Structure 1
Amino acid sequence: MEKKRMKAGRFWNRSIFFVVFILSSQHVNSQMQKESDSSEPGSWELFKYDMGSVFGGIGYSYSRPIHWKSEEWTTFGAVVGGTALLYVFDEQVSEFAMRQRGGVPDFIDYYGDRVGSPTYNYMLTGGVYLTGLLTKDEKLRRLGVLLLASASSAGLLQQVSKSIIGRARPEYGNGKDTFDPFNPNRSFHSFPSGHTILAFSNAYAIAKQFENPWVKTGIYLVGMVPGASRLWDGQHWLSDIAFGVAISIFTVESIDRYLDKRYRKKYNDKTKMVNWNASLGLGQIIIRGNF
């Protein structure tokens, strides 16, 4: 079993390198063909500017609720309502998911458990950014900044939320309704799912760089694997994961909007911002995504 997990680890390490290579190769050749410009800022100046963009994006994402209008608050209310609806079925879904664990392929299990962790997350995001910095490719630098800022912003938010809410994990065995706020024990750090937030933030940001809806969908599905793995491992409830996905989308969208003011180019200039609209009706919550 351990040998299989080691092979799976090598597979996903290569996969991370492959993702960085594919994203960078689209522009590296054209960058190398350009003549050097003595007035072009150096790598250190670009790095300082980009790190300012990372911290500025984090601050911008946290400040957005202050500026929300009725439409945004309606959408947020629909997300909360949808999460509450899933909460009703948390125990049934958790029991079903944990029964499926034995049939999960090793490489998928490894990806969900390890690659969705902060260590692998920053291997990917850091690799994308450093490639853009070394090639002085503004589009790739911007993507790296988006990945770093989104993961950091959403990651810090989920850490604070977990501690404050103190929801027990399914493995604790006391059911979905067990809460112990500010309990430092990780068994009470269930809501929301950190693995889901980090993995789906990356997937959502990367998918924005492509126009093909099938490519986008494939990236979304890969980004959801860590969340699913937390279900069959008994680490999170379905409502933890669903709310984590919502946090990822809100965070990436807000930071991407902020970066529009900081960079002239997008990796995919034709990518439209996703508009999430919600409507409330008698006995129903409808959320629409316009791509």
Structure 2
Amino acid sequence: MKSIFKTPNKLLPIFLALFLCFNTTKAQVVKRDSLPSSWELLKYDGISAFGGIKNTYTQPLRWKKEDFITAGAVVLGTAALYIIDEQSSDWFIAQEKDIPPLIRDIGWYSGKPVNNYSLTSAIYLYGLFTKNEKVRKTGVLLISAATAAGLLQTFTKTALGRARPGVGEGKWSFKPFSEEEGYHTFPSGHTILSFTTAYAIGKQFDNPFVKGGIYTLGLIAPASRLWAGAHWLTDIGLSIAISIAVVDTIDNYLNRDRNYGNIDPHKTKISWDFQMGPGRIGIRGTF
């Protein structure tokens, strides 16, 4: 039977509808003519996205003790998975024949850059043109996080040149800066794009069951790469850790340094000045 996912674009309405149906009910209710123009919002969001990417790469310079402890735990966890890389790879590959074609198709297409950016762009444009503050900010988070994490994994996997399981050379084989696709496995691009998107969307919901469902969808692509023998378990584990770190970093930046809590992006905050002079005393608020 022909899979309904042979055309990648058929994935988009499913994920988009899932996101919008939960967020539209939480939309900020304002008069549209009281908001800045779409062009003004687009410029503001572009600066926000660039700032989020820059913040991701400079964040290690601001790490504190607990951040170094977390990074150390990720390194130790990756090292622990490395011990069972070959055994786990053999087990996952043996399961592929029992995986429904529909699940395999979802895993393959959801981690492709063209499909990922189609989804994230659709979410952002919906938020931009409807001037839905929550959806617009989520779109900025999705695009900037996917870009920051994607560029990082592209450079890293090329620089390290680790062999894929399917190459047959084992987990210790590396060819740094090799142009061969078989030596671009660490970390996993499919995993980073898929789980970055799922984690960023999942953060917008408080319901643990909704979060769990979205995260489960985001884990299909990583699992599919293990079944296909395209990645080791350490590739997947580190990729998920990178996704979480990047999304959290950019989300914190948007919440802290960018003004998505108010309607007008040109208004940063309310300031209060204490004024006193001849015959007058009072407090002036600037909005």
TM-score by length of structure 2 reads 0.86
| Partner of residue 13, structure 2 | 14
User: Could you list the per-position Cα deviations for residues 147-187 of structure 1 after superposition, in whole angstroms to 9, with x for gaps in the alignment?
Assistant: 00000000000000001110000111111110010101111
Amino acid corresponding to residue 16 of structure 1 in structure 2:
F
| Partner of residue 277, structure 1 | none
Shift of 1:137: 1.3
Shift of 1:130: 0.3
The CA distance in 2 between the partners of 1:224 and 1:265, in whole Å, is 31
Please show how residues 233-252 of structure 1 align to structure 2 within 5 Å.
233-252=228-247
| Partner of residue 190, structure 1 | 185
User: Could you list the per-position Cα deviations for residues 8-51 of structure 1 after superposition, in whole angstroms to 9, with x for gaps in the alignment?
Assistant: 857524313423432553256x64xx43435x311011001101
Task: Choose the corresponding residue for 1:167, options 140, 162, 167.
Answer: 162
1:109 matched to 2:104? The reply is yes
Q: 1:123 to 1:142 in 2, by over 3 A?
A: same
Report the 3-state secondary structure (helix = DSSP H, G, I; strand = E; otherwise coil) of the residue aligned with 2:92: helix
State how many pairs are aligned: 261
Q: 1:13 to 1:36 in 2, by over 3 A?
A: closer
User: Could you list the per-position Cα deviations for residues 90-142 of structure 1 after superposition, in whole angstroms to 9, with x for gaps in the alignment?
Assistant: 11111111111111111110011112111111111101100000011111111
1:203 matched to 2:202? The reply is no
Q: Structure 1, unaligned stretches of length 5 or more?
A: 267-291
Q: 1:161 to 1:10 in 2, by over 3 A?
A: closer
Report the 3-state secondary structure (helix = DSSP H, G, I; strand = E; otherwise coil) of the residue aligned with 2:206: coil
User: Could you list the per-position Cα deviations for residues 200-241 of structure 1 after superposition, in whole angstroms to 9, with x for gaps in the alignment?
Assistant: 111111111111112212211111110000000111000000
The CA distance in 1 between the partners of 2:121 and 2:200, in whole Å, is 14
The CA distance in 2 between the partners of 1:25 and 1:230, in whole Å, is 33
| Partner of residue 82, structure 2 | 87
| Partner of residue 73, structure 2 | 78
Amino acid corresponding to residue 44 of structure 1 in structure 2:
W
Task: Choose the corresponding residue for 1:53, options 41, 48, 53.
Answer: 48
The CA distance in 1 between the partners of 2:79 and 2:213, in whole Å, is 28
Amino acid corresponding to residue 25 of structure 1 in structure 2:
T
Contact persistence 1:142–1:263 (CA under 8 A) = no
The CA distance in 2 between the partners of 1:115 and 1:222, in whole Å, is 9
Task: Choose the corresponding residue for 1:37, options 33, 39, 52.
Answer: 33
Give the number of the structure whose alpha-carbon radius of gyration is greater: 2
1:264 matched to 2:260? The reply is yes
Greater alpha carbon shift after TM alignment, 135-144 vs 256-265: 256-265
Report the 3-state secondary structure (helix = DSSP H, G, I; strand = E; otherwise coil) of the residue aligned with 2:33: coil
Report the 3-state secondary structure (helix = DSSP H, G, I; strand = E; otherwise coil) of the residue aligned with 1:100: helix
User: Could you list the per-position Cα deviations for residues 225-277 of structure 1 after superposition, in whole angstroms to 9, with x for gaps in the alignment?
Assistant: 100000001110000000000000110001001101213339xxxxxxxxxxx
Contact persistence 1:8–1:106 (CA under 8 A) = no
Contact persistence 2:41–2:128 (CA under 8 A) = yes
CA RMSD of aligned residues (A): 1.8
